[in-house]
Structure 1
Amino acid sequence: MRVVTVGDNCMDVYQELGKTYPGGNSVNVAVYLKALGVNSSYIGWVGSDKYGDIMVEAIREKGVDTSHLLRKEGKTAVTYVELIDNDRRFGEYEEGVMGNFTLTTEELYFIQTHQLVHSGIWGHTGKYFPLFKEKGLLTSFDFSDQLNHSEVKKLPQFVDYPFFSYTRDDIYIRDFLKEIRSQGSKVVVATLGENGSLAYDGEQYYKYGVKEDNVIDTMGAGDSFISGFIYGSLKGLSIDRCLELGTDTATKTIRYFGAW
């Protein structure tokens, strides 16, 4: 299995704790997939600062292909985070060099050597997804909790596995998943925090709960869930089993500080 993730990375800075951890949706998904045995690559930009050094070294240490991770003059993206009852709250986000992120022709060709390409709402990659689908790639995309974002109205037709973040299983989210699925996706998934996860494939809904565990930090839980689900999908497993794998992967992530 070969998966490439494209777009956002950032250093998660816990100022009160005096700690920093590498992260960002696309980076996290690549790292988690590698841990599951997938041959994963990451494409993105980091700055010329110390955080850029930390990010590059950390991703390489996890075994992810960083041949297309580039250094640009400027600052690496930073998200300021605080912990409230072991749940993370995001503060200011400084996008740094990733604010001008684009893909080159060579990088687009490199992406096509993979089975699946993944990105997220902050990755500046939406405009490339029509090409990815045209070239026959499987695609996944994390819309996070941005259910009303402009990309939601035009991108799902090019995304096989769109992921959303919501709070509970209710009529609103079920109708929302059905509407997104009607645009052409294979399976639409919503993570529901402590209420588990929900998926829709055009015929029926699938629901999976959470597994009780000692929550240390929820950072990266959604991204690790996505990784588990993608892994199961690439192996041809049932939707129920994919939801279970996503939950298992997320459960491991919440046992420690930082995304990984």
Structure 2
Amino acid sequence: MNENCKLAAVGDNCIDFYDQTGDAYPGGNPVNVAVYTVRLGGTASYTGVVGEDDYGALMRRAIAGKGVDVSHLRTEPGTTALSHVSIVDGDRVFGDYEEGVMASFRLTDEDIDFLCAHDLVVSGLWGMIAPDLPRLKARGVKVAFDFADKPEDPVVAQALPFVDYAFFSNDADGDAALEDFLRNVTAKGPKVAVVTRGEKGSLAYDGEHFYRGDIVPCQVVDTMGAGDSFIAGFLYGLMRGQDIPACMALGAQNSSVTLGYAGAW
């Protein structure tokens, strides 16, 4: 890959609604990765669906305003997905999730063609596209997928054989347990598997070697989007031909920027 590569983010978007303040921020894992990729100087698109409500208009306007291609962001009758969020000791805690029109989101043949015109596709656990991953894999496009902190979710087993770069988050288990976990993940298909570990940094495995990444110390205002920032930085480095340690370092640097303000972006 090279610096001119295009990233396609696809799947869930949601409004992060902060119950304590009433603030509403556009977000969602794939959306965040697309926005952060452009922030780093890359090119990205977002494919998904919003509702015919004020939040849907806000989402479309905000994503486009960050320089992300929204030509395949559909608007459908219903409400835009919304996550209730609280801040506890600087950390974001998710409450109820109102899925809205995302509940019925499915990729069209045109969406598949559009995604396959990119060099790398990224999605996540709640993106509703796991059934379509075999079609993307058959077309030869590279796929990155964020499984968050849900290694037992049924989507994991369904998606892993068709994923090139797998991301998880786990700040509880020790090195030995995580190394075994990453070995098992790569045995099921991915070329590289990565675990982000909060203040403990990150751990990556490429089927042969383990790599450990450090954090970039910073003042934490809000952890919303920190993991997505790491993924965006890692993938941006990858698309520019950097090795895994350099990708991990870029991910950590990108996360430190996001941690310094409220909301994902």
TM superposition score category, shorter chain reference: over 0.9
Match of residue 67 from structure 1: 71
Deviation at 1:171, TM superposition (A): 2.1
Given candidates 101, 105, 109, the residue that maps to 1:105 is 109
Deviation at 1:186, TM superposition (A): 1.1
Match of residue 191 from structure 1: 196
Q: Post-superposition, which runs of at least 4 consecutive aligned residues in structure 1 deviate over 4 A?
A: none
Deviates more, 1:211-220 or 1:162-171: 162-171
Which amino acid is 2:53 matched to?
Answer: D
Match of residue 253 from structure 2: 248
Given candidates 25, 38, 41, the residue that maps to 2:42 is 38
Match of residue 150 from structure 1: 154
**1:28-59 superposed Cα distances (whole Å, 9 cap, x missing partner):** 01101111122110000001111111101000
Report matched runs for 1:49-60 at 5 Å: 49-60=53-64
Match of residue 90 from structure 1: 94
Which amino acid is 1:250 matched to?
Answer: S
Which amino acid is 2:185 matched to?
Answer: I
Q: Distance in 2 between matches of 1:170 and 1:82?
A: 30
Deviation at 1:158, TM superposition (A): 0.9
Which amino acid is 1:70 matched to?
Answer: R
8 Å CA contact 2:130–2:158 kept in 1: the answer is no
Match of residue 132 from structure 2: 128
Q: Distance in 2 between matches of 1:127 and 1:154?
A: 8
Residue 31 (structure 2) pairs with residue 18 (structure 1)? no
Residue 220 (structure 2) pairs with residue 215 (structure 1)? yes
Structure 1 runs not aligned, ≥5 long: none
Aligned residues: 260
Q: Distance in 1 between matches of 2:54 and 2:137?
A: 37
Q: Distance in 1 between matches of 2:49 and 2:156?
A: 25
Deviation at 1:94, TM superposition (A): 0.4
Match of residue 140 from structure 1: 144
Deviation at 1:170, TM superposition (A): 2.6
- Matched residue SS, 1:82: strand
Match of residue 182 from structure 1: 187
Provide the TM-score with structure 1 as the length reference: 0.98
Which amino acid is 1:73 matched to?
Answer: P
Match of residue 171 from structure 1: 176
Q: Distance in 2 between matches of 1:212 and 1:28?
A: 22
Deviation at 1:154, TM superposition (A): 3.1
Given candidates 225, 232, 238, the residue that maps to 2:243 is 238
- Matched residue SS, 2:191: coil
Q: Distance in 2 between matches of 1:223 and 1:89?
A: 16
Deviation at 1:156, TM superposition (A): 1.4
Deviation at 1:183, TM superposition (A): 1.4
**1:206-227 superposed Cα distances (whole Å, 9 cap, x missing partner):** 0112121100000000001000
Match of residue 118 from structure 2: 114
- Matched residue SS, 1:154: helix
Q: Distance in 2 between matches of 1:39 and 1:208?
A: 25
Which amino acid is 2:218 matched to?
Answer: D
Deviation at 1:151, TM superposition (A): 2.0
RMSD between superposed Cα atoms in Å: 0.9
Q: Distance in 2 between matches of 1:50 and 1:184?
A: 41
Q: Distance in 1 between matches of 2:243 and 2:211?
A: 10
